[in-house]
Structure 1
């Protein structure tokens, strides 16, 4: 008469449930941090939106203003902007909760690699957004306002359309400024050599201008403001990756020579 032994299955089930409960708790903490910051900022939502729209407002001609074409736009658009700001402020807490969840399953060398990658990604994303806000927005809006003047057209942008444009631009420049991190990670993991990155440089430049033409407004100025930093950041990534490139074995080094 055979007897079954359900202990291994029970152990696996308990481990799975333990991880599931931990994930739930960390999601609750992340969402809680986001809501607390949002509720702390919501009183100043109109002021936050005014600061958010300042590059466009400064570029409008005398008497120009933003408009609302949706009945609920004047309420929900500032709320969305405030939620975006709250998310950016809460992002270190959210990233820490993610880190604390996956850290027990990582090796020591992986832990040493993940923290600088995550922190530098966050900082570079913020720098990309700041570049868009302080450099790209004023330049593009002033150019468009000057272009509208000879046409006799009044520049009055709907706040919801402006939010959509700004979010797309922030995302494009935030991701663009992650290029050095991507290059360093690819080199560190041995997926590509620095010599290969230099070899494909012309294709990267062409690709940068293609990406800029897709994600930016259809004017040459804004495309240059994205493509040029993308190329510069690619070169910066190559420079930093020199310190992380794994050493090749003598036999592999001989094979890698042209």
Structure 2
């Protein structure tokens, strides 16, 4: 009888998880439809915004570097002769569907977190629920800070550099729609997930896989990795690399403090 009740409980949890997943998928689907319906506005004002010479980041970076007396390529940004190529009959349709789906995931992120929270919270104690009440807000805030940083900093820096990089005059750059939109959407989603590092470290510390001592021990290694990544995705000048690297290093330091705080709390509770 006990095994049957246990099995029913397990099946009940599976059914509950299924409905959480269904509602999350429905939210993504609805947002995908909305973005697809307004695809022209989304492309003109968002996904293709970085190949406009008057994009706000280029002007701000130019003014910033000029203020310190530094020359900057952002003062001479010119995309007038850059046209994206759509070389397949279905390219524009499939690209608009895919980009709408990625943007649907991004916008639905807080709701997806809420559904995860609703599934997990019944198994937590009242004290644990109270302590983790701000989880959705903090995780969503970090995620959208990542979206903002990616859209206004990393994407324009990378696109300005990649569009103007040329090995030799014998090679002409002619980029496809898929490559440009793929670059932008992958950055938006990837960097936003990267900004969840403090949340990830929090849970890894809770289950004993990460300690603040481990993070501090490999701080120098993390610095090298961050600088390498910054050098890859930015133009070959120190200022741009620093702009990208600093927020990521700040996130790493925050993660160390988060991990230390979790350990202290666990030690206090154990007494």
The answer to whether the superposition gives a TM-score over 0.5 is: yes
Measure how far apart 1:52 and its partner are: 1.0
Corresponding residue number in structure 1 for 2:48: 53
How far apart, CA to CA, are the structure 1 residues paired with 2:145 and 2:192? 7
Corresponding residue number in structure 1 for 2:57: none
Distance change >3 Å, CA 9–CA 45, structure 1 → 2: same
Corresponding residue number in structure 2 for 1:102: 120
Contact kept, 8 Å, 2:211 with 2:260, in 1: the verdict is no
Measure how far apart 1:17 and its partner are: 2.5
Q: Which has more radius of gyration?
A: 1
Instruction: Please list the CA deviations of residues 54-102 of structure 1 after superposition, one character each: whole Å capped at 9, or x if unmatched.
Output: 1034355323221112221111112211222222222222222221112
Distance change >3 Å, CA 83–CA 234, structure 1 → 2: same
Output the TM-score relative to the length of structure 1. Answer: 0.76
Partner residue of 2:174 out of 140, 153, 156: 156
Instruction: Please list the CA deviations of residues 87-123 of structure 1 after superposition, one character each: whole Å capped at 9, or x if unmatched.
Output: 2222222222221112111223433454434432222
Greater shift after overlay, 135-144 or 47-56?
Answer: 135-144
Can you give the 5+ residue segments of structure 2 that lack an aligned partner in the other structure? 54-76
How far apart, CA to CA, are the structure 2 residues paired with 1:188 and 1:24? 26
Contact kept, 8 Å, 1:128 with 1:175, in 2: the verdict is yes
How far apart, CA to CA, are the structure 2 residues paired with 1:127 and 1:243? 23
* Structure 1 residue 82 corresponds to structure 2 residue 82: no
Measure how far apart 1:33 and its partner are: 2.1
How far apart, CA to CA, are the structure 2 residues paired with 1:240 and 1:247? 11
How far apart, CA to CA, are the structure 2 residues paired with 1:248 and 1:74? 53
Contact kept, 8 Å, 2:39 with 2:96, in 1: the verdict is yes
Q: After the TM superposition, which residues 103-118 of structure 1 pair with which residues of structure 2 at under 5 Å, given as runs?
A: 103-118=121-136
Partner residue of 1:119 out of 119, 137, 148: 137
Output the TM-score relative to the length of structure 2. Answer: 0.72
Corresponding residue number in structure 2 for 1:65: 83
How far apart, CA to CA, are the structure 1 residues paired with 2:11 and 2:262? 38
Partner residue of 1:167 out of 146, 160, 185: 185
Can you give the 5+ residue segments of structure 1 that lack an aligned partner in the other structure? 1-6, 251-258
Q: How many residues were matched structurally?
A: 242
Partner SS state of residue 33, structure 1: helix
Partner SS state of residue 246, structure 1: helix
Partner SS state of residue 140, structure 1: helix
Measure how far apart 1:161 and its partner are: 0.8
Alpha-carbon RMSD across the aligned residues, in angstroms, is 3.3
